[in-house]
A = this chain, B = another copy of it.
Amino acid sequence: MTVRPVRIVLADDERMVRTALRVILDAEPGLEVVGEAATGAEAVSVVRSFLPDVVLMDVRMPEIDGIRATEQILSTLAEPPRIVVVTTFENDSYVYDALRAGAAGFLLKRAAAEDLVQAVRLVARSDSLLFPAAVRELAALHSTQKPAPPPWAAKLTGREAEVLRQMARGLTNAEIAARIGVGPATVKSHVAAVLAKTGARDRTQAVIAAYESGFIRPK
Using a CB–CB distance below 8 Å, which chain A residues touch chain B? Answer: 71, 74-75, 93, 95-96, 99-106, 111-112, 115, 118-119, 122, 126-133, 135-136, 138-140, 142-144, 146-147, 167-170, 172, 200-205, 207-208, 211-212, 214, 217-219
> Which one of A96, A131, A133, A201 has the highest number of Cβ atoms from chain B below 10 Å of its Cβ?
A131
In the assembly, how many copies of this chain are there? 2
Is A128 a contact partner of B115 (Cβ separation < 8 A)? yes
Q: What is the minimal beta-carbon distance from A95 to any residue of chain B, in angstroms? A: 8
Residue of B nearest to A96 (CB): B217
Q: What is the minimal beta-carbon distance from A175 to any residue of chain B, in angstroms? A: 10
Is B205 a contact partner of A212 (Cβ separation < 8 A)? no
Q: What is the minimal beta-carbon distance from A9 to any residue of chain B, in angstroms? A: 19
Given A167-B204, A219-B212: A74 and B143 interface contact (C-beta under 8 Å): yes
